[in-house]
Amino acid sequence: MASAPQPQLPLFYKDLLPLNSRDHADWKAGSLESAAYLAATHAIPLTSDEFVDAQRNFPIVFTAGENPLPIALFGLNEGVNTFVGDDMKINEPIYIPAYARRYPFILAKLQQGSDDMSLCFDPTANLLGKMDEGLVLFEADGKPTEYTNGVLDFCRRFEEAGQRTKLFMEELAKLDILMDGEIAITRNDMPDKPFIYRGFRMVDENKLRELPTATVETLSKNGLLMLIHAHLFSLNLMRTLFERQLAQGKVPMTAEGAPAAALN
């Protein structure tokens, strides 16, 4: 079973194998009970479809650089995830981004120059294999089971949401309303040394207010204004996330006091 071509693997994935009835006819899928694969990740990719749900739990910001993408912040510092406990589980009811929920599966292009995508999985997750208990992946005739078809459908819908997210980001670029973000948070016991977080992008509220009325009406009709507001509302959770990190003892300190950190 040869691994798929992988010049650079996506976040979380350590290896990729194409799922097929020839090599995995008698394999089953177990349950992914551990969130260890999330534990050292502070920012998880998010689709625009998820903004309304995700903004209740996480700040939503955009990556820096030429092609910004939306991310949900699980922590404010590199390698810090405030929602994964020491037991490697998420023990509270929060929204989990679809990017994380699809793991260890993914749709990937196996041949350069082809747009065809195949259902692949990360074998290092140890979710799939020859086991006594679990969900059967293929029927006796080699056809995918209901479980496998469900996984494939989820991954397809994720890719479709990714295309909508791309269009959303292209619209933000046309409107030119993104700006470099900077958040300063002050601890009560250190009022003169704020923690400054940079390295992300956010919507400039002043530019948003200055948009022509007709443009705003169009954004409202096509649903994009709601997404922009969900992003802006979510920024109020920056302080809450900082407090979570502080309570867990995961706010890094330097000799000079509070550090400046990049979020992307």
Distance of CA 145 to the CA centre of its chain: 28
In a domain, 133, yes or no: yes
In a domain, 117, yes or no: yes
In a domain, 141, yes or no: yes
- Give the alpha-carbon dihedral of 81, 164, 227, 170, to 10 degrees: 100
10: preceding bond cis by omega (within 30 degrees): no
**What pTM was computed for the model?**
0.88
pLDDT tens across 133-189, in order?
999 999 999 899 999 999 999 999 999 999 999 999 999 999 999 999 988 888 776
In the 8-state DSSP scheme, what is residue 231? H
If pLDDT is split at 50, 70 and 90, which confidence band does 250 have?
A: confident
Q: Is the pLDDT of residue 255 over 90?
A: no
Q: How far apart are CA 53 and CA 42, in angstroms?
A: 18
The pair of structure tokens assigned to 250 is: 């995961």
By the 8 A CB rule, do 60 and 46 touch? Answer: yes
Domain hosting residue 110, numbered range: 17-262
Beta strands 190-203 and 260-262, pairing class: parallel
In a domain, 8, yes or no: no
pLDDT tens across 68-81, in order?
999 999 999 889 99
Q: How far apart are CA 24 and CA 131, in angstroms?
A: 12
Instruction: Detail the DSSP E strand segments found in 30-111.
Output: 43-45, 60-63, 70-73, 105-109
By the 8 A CB rule, do 41 and 225 touch? Answer: no
In a domain, 140, yes or no: yes
Residues 59-70 as b or e (16 or more Cβ within 10 Å = b) = bbbbbeeeebbb
By the 8 A CB rule, do 44 and 100 touch? Answer: yes
Q: How far apart are CA 125 and CA 15, in angstroms?
A: 9
If pLDDT is split at 50, 70 and 90, which confidence band does 43 have?
A: very high
Q: How far apart are CA 252 and CA 242, in angstroms?
A: 11
Q: Which of 29, 40, 14, 54 lies closest to 237, judged by CA?
A: 54
Task: Sort residue 180 into left (φ over 0), alpha (ψ -120 to 50) or beta.
Answer: beta
In a domain, 2, yes or no: no
Q: Cβ-count burial of 213 within 10 angstroms (0-12 exposed, 13-18 middle, 19+ buried)?
A: exposed
Distance of CA 63 to the CA centre of its chain: 11
Count of domains in the chain? 1
pLDDT tens across 13-42, in order?
999 999 999 999 999 999 888 899 999 999
Residue 155 has a pLDDT of: 97
